Amino acid sequence: MYYTKKVQAGKNMKEKKKLIYIPDEEFTNFRELRAGNIAAGVLYRSSSPLKGGDIKQVKGSLALKAGINCIINLDDDNSVIETLSREVSWYHELVARKNVICLPMTFRIPGLASNEKKLKTALQFMIAHEGPYLNHCFAGVDRTGFVSALLEAFMGVSLKAICKGYLLAFYPDYSGTYRLEAYHKMKNFMAQLKAMAHGEKLTTINIQVAAEQYMLHDIGLSQDEITQLKNVLGGIRTIR
C-alpha cells in the first residue's frame, strides 16, 4: 500500500510530496504481544478482522498463520457479528464454535462499571478457552490498547515497553500531525493506566502489582482466576 507525505527538499527547503510504500501488514495493527512472562504464540492484538476493506484478507492470513483460536471482540455486539463474519470464513468458524465473545466497550474503561464488568467476562472467557487469543476493537488502538496494556502489565512487561508498544498502533511519518495525534493519544492512554492504578504516579509504582490489584478489586476476578490467567498467558494450561 502506498501513501504520500510531505518532505523537506533542496536548499530552499520547499515542501514536496514523496510516495512511500508501507507493507499491508503494518496497516492491520495485527501483532503478537510477546514480552515479560507472556509465552510465545499466545496473545495477539489487531484492528477488526471483519472491517477494513482490502486489508481484511491480510488480517485473515496473519490470523491463520498465528493459529488464532479465541477472540475477544471489543467493538461489535452479538446482533451483527453473525452477518459480519460470513464474509470472513476463519472468523465465522470461530463464531460457530462459540470461541468468539462480543463485548462492545466505550473508549474509557477504568472506573466505568459497565466496561469493567465486560472486561471481567472477557478475562474469564480467556481462562475457559484455548488460545492463541486475539483481542481487537475497530482500529485496534484505544480499547484494544488498554486491554493489551493491562495484560502486559499483569505479566510483568515494563511501563516503558508498554508505551512503546502502544505507539506501534500509529505509523510514524513524523509529520506535525502525527506528533500531535501521538501526543494526545499517549496522554489519554496514560490517563487510563493512571486510573487503573487509582491515581498513583506510574513511574514510582510497580505496574504489575497495580494491574493485578485492579483485576482483583475493580474487575472482580478471584485469586484462583488470577492464577489461572497467569498460567494461560504464560503458556501453561491446567486441566480441571
Q: Which residue has the cell 484505544?
A: 142
Q: What is the pLDDT of residue 20?
A: 46
> Which pLDDT score, from 0 to 100, does residue 229 have?
98
Cis peptide leading into residue 110 (ω within 30°):
no
Alpha carbon 110 to chain centroid, angstroms: 15
Buried b (16+ CB within 10 A) or exposed e, 191-220: ebbbbbbeeeebeeeebbebbbebbeebbe
Distance CA 45, CA 235 (A): 17
Q: What is the pLDDT of residue 7?
A: 44
Q: HSE of 191 in the Cβ direction (CA atoms, 13 Å)?
A: 11
List, in order of start, the domains of the chain with CATH numbers: 28-233 (3.90.190.10)
Confidence (pLDDT) at 5: 45
- Main-chain phi, psi angles of 27, to 5 degrees: -85, -15
In angstroms, the CA 157 to CA 196 distance is 16
Question: What average pLDDT values come out for the chain (240 residues) when binned by 10 residues?
Answer: 45 49 67 96 96 86 96 95 93 97 95 96 98 95 95 96 89 65 87 94 89 97 98 81
